[in-house]
Amino acid sequence: MDDRFSFTVIFSYIPTLLDYLPVTLGIFGSAITTGIMLGIFFALVRVYRIPVLRYLVIVFVSYVRGVPLLVQLMLSYYVLPGLLETIGIPGNDLPAIGFVICAYGLHAGVNISEAIRGAIASIPRGQIDAALSLGMTNWQILRRIIFPQAVFIVLPDFCNIMLNGLKSTALAFTVGVVDMVGRGQALGAQTLRNFEVFLALSVIYYVLTVLLESGLKLLENRLLQKRIPKGTTSIS
């Protein structure tokens, strides 16, 4: 076998690795969706200072932010099934990808919650006091005043969280999930061309990241255009 480095070999591996792209995107999409829901919940619990639950969320957020994602992934895969078994759920029979999504979703949720909490805190208190004086409920204030402004404030941080989330899916293979990196590991072992395999993976992840970043920037620009009233001009 010719063991010399070859660019042709790199590009010949890309279609094989792309066969597992749906697995990678499935993990990413499920984790971000879960993270958004958890992030909003965690943020609101802290903003509205819900008794007891607030302190539990503070401790949990601090823990998740202080522990490496790889360790969280291992805990989810090796510890969570046992905990589920104790309450009668056959955790050991569940697919590994479910525990991967759980770990990634919690990690994304914590980061999103901090971004949302910071965005809400940046909204002037006077606006909320004025709404309360008009008799608006907390839900109306959240829906009509806080949320529309917080979306624009949190968007840059949310974009970074999504980009990091996409790249972090590469750790899923460590618990046996056969995604693009998992397939790349097997392919490298079969062909003994690990250098070319991982260069091919780097090309795929780079293209995915550029596409995602471009899409998020386009979304951000569209939202900003809708926010600026028609007929006004920006001051440079």
Averaged pLDDT for residues 42-67: 92
Looking at the domain that runs over 21-153, which CATH code has it been given? Answer: 1.10.3720.10
pTM for this entry: 0.85
Q: pLDDT at position 24, please?
A: 94
Amino acid 232: pLDDT: 45
> What CA–CA distance (Å, rounded) separates 154 from 43?
12
Q: Where are the domains of the chain?
A: 1-20+178-228, 21-153
Q: Find the mean pLDDT for residues 186-193.
A: 88
Look at residue 7 and tell me whether its pLDDT is greater than 90. no
Asked if the model's pLDDT at residue 229 lies above 80, the reply is no
Q: Which pLDDT does position 92 carry in this prediction?
A: 79
Give CA–CA dist 123/190, Å, rounded.
56
Task: For tokens 């063991």, name the residue.
Answer: 3
Q: Is the pLDDT of residue 3 over 80?
A: no
Nearest alpha-carbon partner for 186 in 17, 5, 6, 8:
17
